[in-house]
Amino acid sequence: MKTGKPPFEGVVAEHSATVLRVCRAVLGVDEADDAWSETFLAAMRAYPDLPADANLQAWLVTIAHRKAIDVTRARQRRALPVENVPEVATTVPAPGDQDDELWHALKALPDKQRHAVAYHHLGGLAYNEVAEILGGTTDAARRAAADGMKALRTSLMGSKGATR
Amino acid sequence: MTTSDTSVLAPLADVDPADLARLHAGLEAAADRAGQLDIAYTTFDSPVGPLLLAATETGLLRVAYEIEGHDRVLETISARISPRILRAPKRLEGAMRELDEYFAGRRTTFDVPLDLGLSAGFRQLVQRQLAHIAYGHTQSYGQVAAAVGNPKAVRAVGTACARNPLPVVLPCHRVLKADGSLGGYAGGPATKAILLELESAA
């Protein structure tokens, strides 16, 4: 008899929302679904061979990171023939729509900061785990997340006079 | 860990359960297409309580009563067959339709393909034999033992019936003790009586 491992359904049930939040923070709501689906499909494929003591959430967020990069590259390939289309023109946030405002602020961050914010604050990964995904040191991951959060606060609240 | 103010991320905290349900349904279909949905399962509401139904690509693998503990049954399947398990009702549609008809008294035999991967050897031989006991009829454990060519293996037949992975579909409820009393049943003796009653009334 093989060693027991919880049915994959339980993994989906427990981590589904977290992975979706991470994908939405990295890619925006529209492209997050594709990354979520590719993440769980790949995870399910590899699940039988995963060590029983693996940190499932860190494992899933790591896969989500790779799938988000795939989705981004696919979009860039599709976008290639059409040059110089200003990105902001396509997705102007509805006034007062918090989701869109947040996404625009996230999108404005350098990739490393957006990833660090998503994986630590939404994915629940420790900074050393974030560093393993992004490369670089634990300190650099911590700094990227802190800088990212600071920039988000500035861009989302700065205009209203909040100073931090 | 430092406690930083993450309230700016609050709009991302809310995830609509409908979105997750839609994504789950997409995963069920994609995993099936990719040939990696080793086990699909669902829960079927029957007159004898909720039944867990689980199927491989080959066929129906398990029918389980609530008192068997559905979570525990899935854990056993995970360990013995594969952990690549999703709640994915589509694969069970045929089985659910036949069970509906059976419980309505409109079906006397099951035609869905079966996967006997959870049993082996003598037990599987006995379980296959159960399909030959006609609807509305009963046999004793001794008669079943004789039918599989091992008339002395009465106790082993009892064990094989108790471990039947496909109750209702492989009708171990039609096997009684030699004195006509019910004997044991995975779903409990009351359930066994209900099924026999259903079959005698139809």
If you measure CA to CA, which chain B residue comes closest to A157?
B8
Q: Which domain holds residue B42?
A: 18-103
What is the CATH classification number for the domain harbouring B40?
A: 3.30.160
Nearest Cα of chain B lies from the Cα of A154 at a distance, in angstroms, of 10
B9 touching A (Cβ < 8 Å): yes
**CB contact (8 A) between residue A41 and residue B34:** yes
How many CB contacts within 8 angstroms connect chain A with chain B? 102
What is the CATH classification number for the domain harbouring A146?
A: 1.20.140
Q: Which domain holds residue A93?
A: 8-160
In a domain, A1, yes or no: no
Q: Between residues 86 and 125 of chain B, which touch chain A (CB distance below 8 Å)? A: 86-87
If you measure CA to CA, which chain B residue comes closest to A34?
B23
If DSSP states are collapsed to H, E and C, what string results for B97-146? HHHHHHHCCCCCCCCCCECCCCCCHHHHHHHHHHCCCCCCCCEEHHHHHH
> Domain total for chain B?
2
Give the least confident one: A95-109, B6-20, B72-86, B162-176. Answer: A95-109
> Which of B103, B129, B156 represents a domain boundary (last residue)?
B103
Q: Which pLDDT band holds residue A93 (cuts at 50, 70, 90)? A: very low
In a domain, A3, yes or no: no
The answer to whether B8 touches A149, Cβ cutoff 8 Å, is yes
In a domain, B108, yes or no: no
E-assigned strand segments in chain B: 39-46, 49-55, 60-64, 85-87, 139-140, 175-176
B14 touching A (Cβ < 8 Å): no
Among candidates A9, A33, A117 on the partner chain, residue whose Cβ is nearest the Cβ of B85: A9
Among candidates A1, A17, A122 on the partner chain, residue whose Cβ is nearest the Cβ of B80: A1
What is the CATH classification number for the domain harbouring B184?
A: 1.10.10.10
Nearest Cα of chain B lies from the Cα of A78 at a distance, in angstroms, of 23
Output the six-digit token pair for B75: 């854990």
Q: Do residues B99 and B131 both lie within one domain?
A: no
pLDDT tens figures, A43-70: 999 999 999 899 999 999 999 999 999 9
**CB contact (8 A) between residue B11 and residue A6:** no
**CB contact (8 A) between residue A12 and residue B79:** no
In a domain, B5, yes or no: no
pLDDT tens figures, B40-98: 999 999 999 999 999 999 999 999 999 999 999 999 999 999 999 999 999 999 999 99
**CB contact (8 A) between residue A6 and residue B83:** yes
Nearest Cα of chain A lies from the Cα of B54 at a distance, in angstroms, of 12
B23 touching A (Cβ < 8 Å): yes
pLDDT tens figures, A22-48: 999 999 999 999 999 999 999 999 999
Q: What percent of chain A has pLDDT over 90?
A: 71
Cα dihedral sign, B45-B47-B52-B57: negative
The answer to whether B152 touches B190, Cβ cutoff 8 Å, is no
Catalytic positions of B, written as ranges: 172
> Domain total for chain A?
1
